[in-house]
Structure 1
Amino acid sequence: MMGGAPAVPRDIRSVQWPIITEEDRKAVLSVLDSGNLVSNAETETSVRELEQRWAAATGTAHAVAVSNGTAALHLALAALGVGPGDEVIVPALSFIASGLAPLHQMAVPVFADIDPVTFNLDPADVERRITDRTRAIIPVHLHGLPADMDALAGIADRHGLALVEDAAQAHGAVHRGRKVGSIGAIGATSLQTTKNLPTCGEGGLLTTDDPELAERLVLGRQFGEVIESGKARDYVSRQLGWNAKINPIQAAFATSQLDRFDGYERRRQQNIPPFLDRLRPLPGITVPTAPEHASHAWHILRFRLDPAALGLDGVAPSALRKALHRVLRAEGVPMSRYQLMPLPEQKVFTERTGFGSGHPWAAAEGTAAADEVAGSFPVASAVIEDSLTLQKRHLHPDSGPLLQHYADAFEKVWDHLDTVATMARSAR
C-alpha cells in the first residue's frame, strides 16, 4: 500500500478451485458418450452412483441428489410437512438460502442469534423463540464447524420439532463421531463449485435414515413421479413435486471429485491449523477453532477483530475492519466480508412482500414471528461488523506454502499497527 513489496508474491496468488483432473474430464465425457443426459433415463445413471457413495460417506441409509443446496433445504421441509402458518427457526447469520427455504413452503422463518465463537445457532436463543407454530429448526454448520447438535437435538425432542441440518459448508465434518447430515431428521448439503466437494456448477444432496422421508424426497424432486430404472416413465404425479433434478454430468463430476475428497481433506487439516497458529498470538484478532468433540471442515475462515485489545479505545470495530481489509489486500491476502448484514435485515425479510399481500407473514399476524424486528440479533450484528473472512484459496490441497505467505502478511501488518490505527481513527 505504501509502495513496497507485498508479503504475498503476485505470481503465486492465483489458485484454481475446484481442481479439475483428467479423471474428472473422463467422467463427464463418459456421460456424454452414453447419451443418458437426464436423471430420469430408463437406464441406471451416474446419479444413483453418487447417491450411494454419499450415503456411505455420511453413514446414512439414503441419499437423494438434487439440483442445488437451496432445493435440498426446500425439499427437506416439504418432506417433513412444513407448510403455511408454520414457523422454522433459522440462524441470523447464514447464507440467504437458509432463510428462503421456509418461505418457499409458505412458512415463516424465525431468526435466532448465534454463538460469538462458533457463529452457529445459540441454543438458548432458539428455545426463547419457540412457539406453538414452530415445526422445525435448521441448524447451519456455518463455515464448516458443526453446530451444537446435542443441545439443539434436546430442544427439538422436548418440543417435538424436526431438525434439518444445513451442512452446505461442512462436507465431511464430524460431531461426536457422527458425520454431519446424519444427525437430524434430514441433512442437506450443496455441491456448488465453491464448496469443499464441488460439481461442475450447481448440485445438492439430501441424506436421511428414514425410508418414508427418502421416498418423499425422491417424489418431490421430480413432479411427484416414481422413476424406476428399467421401467418406462408413467407421468403420474403422486404428490406435490418440483423439477429439482441433478443431471448425470454433474453427478459424474461430483463422484469423481469424491474419489479425491478424503485426500484433499487430510491435506487441508495439515495446512490450515499451522496458519491459524501463527495468527493466534497476534493481539486483537480471534481465529477460528475446532472443539475436541467436533472436526472443522474449514470451508470459510472468519476472523474477529477487537480495537480495544489493540489499544484503540473509541475506534469502532467496523473502522478497524475497513483499515485491515485494505491493508491486508494490499499485501496480497484476499480478505472479504462475505455477509454485509444479518439475514433478518435482508430486504426479502424486512419488506415482507413474499408471495403477495404480505404472505406468509400475514398468516402469522399477532405472533412473535410477525412482530420480529431487525436489530434484535446483537451477536450476529457484532460479528458482521468486526470480522473478515478468507475463502476458497485455502481449500486447495497444496495451499500450505500460500497460507504461510498469508501469515507473513498478517505479521507484517501487525508490525505496522500504528499505520492501521491512524487509518482506523480517521475513518468515517
Structure 2
Amino acid sequence: MNSSQELPRWPQLTEDDIEAAVAALRSNRLVGLGNSTIEEFEAVLAAGQGVEHAVAVSTGTAAVHLALHALDVGPGDEVIVPTHTFIGSASPVVYLGARPVFADVTLDTHCLDPVSVKSLITQRTKAIVAVHINGIAADMAALTAVAAEAGVPVVEDAAQALGTEIGGRPVGGFGDLACVSLFEQKVITSGGEGGAVLTNNPVHAERVRRLRSHGEGPVSGRPGMIWAHEVGYNYRLTSVQAAIGIAQHKRLGEMVEARRRNAAHLSQQLAGAEGLELPVEPPGTTHAFWKYAVRVAPGGGRRPAADVAADLRSRGVPVLLRYPFPLHKQPAFAEHQEVSLPVAERLSQELLALPSHPGLTEGHLNHIADEVRRAVAVTA
C-alpha cells in the first residue's frame, strides 16, 4: 500500500443493516410508546450487557444526562468526572445546574484514578462518572469501593466500551447506572446517533423511560391516558435506529474480536519501537479497542506527538492526538483552568489514536505500523 491510498473508513454498514432499516420504515411505526422494534433492541442490549434494564435514547450524551437526572443531580451538587474524556461525559452535569469536579487519570490505562477521586469527594458530591476510555476497563473494584465508603452512586460511561469486560462480565453492570453510545464511529451504531441507559434498578429504569419522553407516563385510574409527571426531555430513539442497532448487535462479538485481532497485530508490529508505549490490558479484563492509543514518550531527541501525528496525516494515516485539551483546560470550563491534573495534562501532549477498526486488512495494519515506526524514529 502506498501513502497516497486512503484507508477504509468506519462504520461499514452491511446489507443486513440497510434491510433492517427499510423494514422498520415500511412498518409505519417509527417511534412511540410500546414500539416493538425499540423494545426488542432494549431487550437485546440489556441481555448483551448482563443487566436487567436498557432504555434506548437519542445519543450517548442524552444517556449521561438522564442517568444523572435519575439520581436527582441538581443545583449545588458536584459530580466527579475524569478530565481526560469527551465533553459529553461532563456537559450533562452543567445541564442539570450542578458543578463538574475534574479528576485525574492513571498513566497506564488513561481511566479515572481512584486516588484522585477519593481526594475530591465532599459533602456536595452527588455522583461519580467512571469512563471506560478507548474500550479499556476502568478500575471498577477500586472506584466502587471509594464510592461506597462515601455513599455516592457511580455512573459508568461505557460510550466507548461495548465489548469491554471485567472478570468475564460486560461493563455496564458495575455501577448504579451506565451509559452507552451508538454514534456512527463507535463499536456498533444505530445509524449515526443513538444511546442507552443501563441499570439493574427498576426505579431508575422507570424514571429514565419517563424522562426520555417529556416526563410523561400513565395516569393512575385512567387507562390509556398519559400526562407529564415531571418536566422531561425529547430523547427518544426511532424504530429505524433500533432496527439498525439490532442488526449491528448481532455482529458485536465478531466486530470486537476483529478489533482485538487488529490491536494484537499492531502491538506485534510496533513492539520494540523506541519511545513508543503501547496500550495495556489490565489483568482480568477484556479491552474492546475502540481506539488503539499509543503514547509517544518524550526525550531522546524525539519529536513531540503532535508533530508525529501531522507527519502521519500527511502520509495518509488518519492519526490525531487523543484528547489534546483536558476538559479542565477548555474554555467551556474556564473556572477550572487553574486546577492541576498532571497525568491528564501530560497525556494530552503524548497520546495518539491509531486506526484499528474491523474494516482494516493486515496490509493496512502493516502500512500503519511501518509509517508509525518511521515517524517516531525521526528526531526533532
Q: Which residue of 2 aligns with 1:325?
A: 309
Q: Which residue of 1 aligns with 2:28?
A: 35
Residue 244 of structure 1 pairs with residue 238 of structure 2: no
Q: Which residue of 2 aligns with 1:362?
A: none
* Equivalences for residues 341-352 of structure 1 within 5 A: 341-350=325-334
The 8 Å contact of residues 213 and 234 in structure 2, kept in 1 or not, is answered as: yes
Cα deviation code 1:314-354 (max 9, x no counterpart): x7xxx522331233223332111242311011111106xxx
Residue 222 of structure 1 pairs with residue 225 of structure 2: no
Structure 1 residue 122, shift from structure 2 partner: 0.9
Residue 406 of structure 1 pairs with residue 368 of structure 2: yes
Q: 1:186 to 1:134 in 2, by over 3 A?
A: same
Structure 1 residue 405, shift from structure 2 partner: 1.5
- Which of 384, 388, 393 aligns to 2:352? It is 388
- Which of 323, 333, 352 aligns to 1:339? It is 323
Output the CA distance in 2 between the equivalents of 1:184 and 1:61: 13
Q: Which residue of 1 aligns with 2:37?
A: 46
Output the CA distance in 2 between the equivalents of 1:162 and 1:400: 43
Output the CA distance in 2 between the equivalents of 1:44 and 1:386: 46
The 8 Å contact of residues 79 and 99 in structure 2, kept in 1 or not, is answered as: yes
Output the CA distance in 2 between the equivalents of 1:93 and 1:412: 28
Structure 1 residue 374, shift from structure 2 partner: 3.3
The 8 Å contact of residues 131 and 156 in structure 2, kept in 1 or not, is answered as: yes
Q: Which residue of 2 aligns with 1:354?
A: none
Amino acid at match of 1:401: G
- Please, which moves more after superposition, 20-29 or 395-404? 395-404
TM (norm. structure 2) is 0.94
Amino acid at match of 2:330: Q
Structure 1 residue 196, shift from structure 2 partner: 0.4
Output the CA distance in 2 between the equivalents of 1:33 and 1:339: 41
The 8 Å contact of residues 144 and 298 in structure 1, kept in 2 or not, is answered as: yes
Unaligned runs of 5+ residues in structure 2 are none
Cα deviation code 1:7-40 (max 9, x no counterpart): 64534x3313222111111111111111001133
Structure number having the greater strand percentage: 2
Other structure's SS at 2:225 match: coil
- Please, which moves more after superposition, 160-169 or 256-265? 256-265
Residue 65 of structure 1 pairs with residue 65 of structure 2: no
Output the CA distance in 2 between the equivalents of 1:330 and 1:18: 23
Output the CA distance in 2 between the equivalents of 1:97 and 1:48: 25
Residue 18 of structure 1 pairs with residue 18 of structure 2: no
Unaligned runs of 5+ residues in structure 1 are 1-6, 352-371
Greater Rg, structure 1 or structure 2? 1
Structure 1 residue 398, shift from structure 2 partner: 4.6
The 8 Å contact of residues 63 and 179 in structure 2, kept in 1 or not, is answered as: yes
Other structure's SS at 1:226 match: strand
Share of identical aligned residues, percent? 37
Output the CA distance in 2 between the equivalents of 1:177 and 1:132: 35
Q: Which residue of 2 aligns with 1:357?
A: none
Other structure's SS at 2:268 match: helix
* Equivalences for residues 293-372 of structure 1 within 5 A: 293-308=284-299, 311-312=300-301, 319-350=303-334, 372=336
The 8 Å contact of residues 296 and 351 in structure 2, kept in 1 or not, is answered as: yes
- Please, which moves more after superposition, 269-278 or 151-160? 269-278
Structure 1 residue 123, shift from structure 2 partner: 0.7
Amino acid at match of 1:238: H
Other structure's SS at 1:51 match: helix
Output the CA distance in 1 between the equivalents of 2:339 and 2:243: 44
